[in-house]
Amino acid sequence: MTFAWEAPTDNGGLELLSYTIYMAKDDDRFSALTQAPVQFNPSITIHTEDELEPGNLYRFKVSASNFVGEGPLSS
């Protein structure tokens, strides 16, 4: 599955450093995908997740981070 997002319009006046992608399977809690390349390159606004199993529901959220810290999760 591949999905994309737009960079935040308000970065608090500081350079965007990274994104964090969170995934939840079925009714589980969201957890960070620590191997996603967006953690090291904020110009990437697309992610492909290959390790999905048929018949399961997957939900994703994204947050952006700058020097101050991590922003809110997307809806």
Say which amino acid occupies 10.
D
Torsion region of 8: left, alpha or beta (phi above 0 gives left; psi -120 to 50 gives alpha): beta
- Residue spans per domain, the chain: 2-8+15-68
Q: What is the dihedral of CA 65, 16, 18, 44, to 10 degrees?
A: 140
The set of residues, in sequence order, having a beta carbon less than 8 Å from that of 32 and lying 6+ positions away, is 20, 21, 22
Residues 12-67 have pLDDT tens digits of 889 999 999 999 999 999 999 977 788 888 899 999 999 899 999 999 999 999 99
